[in-house]
Amino acid sequence: MVRKRTGIVSSIAVINNPEPLLNINSYYLAKVLATVGITDRRKQNQINLGLTCWNLITGVTGAFLTKRLNRRTQYMIAFVGMTAVFACWTGASADYAMTKNTQAAGAVVGMIFVYYMFYTIMHPLTYVYITEVFPFVHRAKGVALTQLFSRGGSSFNQ
């Protein structure tokens, strides 16, 4: 039973960690915005502030959804949504790169917000699910294993 729980923890930690794309948005948001023609620092900071507020709203909403939705349903909505939005985001970026269409640039900014909405629907499940899998006496070890596998997976994406 311990191996099964450890396997669940390790897979959730690695799968629930889409770090490459989040690093692009977190560390390189100004460069991502510059690739679609948004080079004004003030405008970039306004988008960053709006994204931060949006993440707060969607994160709290995602946490409350955990009581209403089945865990699997919530994960599936998040993963399918992130995949579909990233495909649209890539298409809009390619359209802007080829045509310099300002509507495509706006679509890229919108896709960043929608992508984070789906991510924050999934994110609260990481610790909720881990505490459900492990009995009370082993929960701290379960969370520690989650962190270990999550950080280990992130080290390959840096």
Confidence of residue 1 (pLDDT cuts 50, 70, 90): low
How confident is the model over 50-68, as a mean pLDDT?
90
Provide the residue ranges of all domains of the chain, joining segments of one domain with +.
19-123
Residue ranges of alpha helices (H) inside the chain are 2-15, 19-27, 29-35, 41-68, 71-99, 102-122, 125-133, 139-155
Taking the chain, what is the end-to-end CA distance rounded to the nearest angstrom? 33
CA distances from 34 to 39, 45, 85, 109, 133 (A): 5, 12, 20, 11, 43
Three-point CA angle 157, 60, 131, nearest 5°: 65
C-alpha count within 13 angstroms, C-beta hemisphere, residue 102? 1
Reply yes or no on whether the pLDDT at 148 is more than 60.
yes
Token pair 């669940």 in the structure block, residue: 8
At residue 43, does pLDDT exceed 80? yes
CA dihedral 139→141→146→148, nearest 10 degrees, is 170
Give whole-number Cα distances, 94 to 37, 101, 106, 114, 132, in Å: 13, 10, 13, 18, 42
Count of CA atoms in the C-beta half-sphere (13 A) of 125:
28
Least confident of 13-22, 97-106, 107-116: 13-22
Q: How far is CA 145 from the centre of its chain?
A: 20
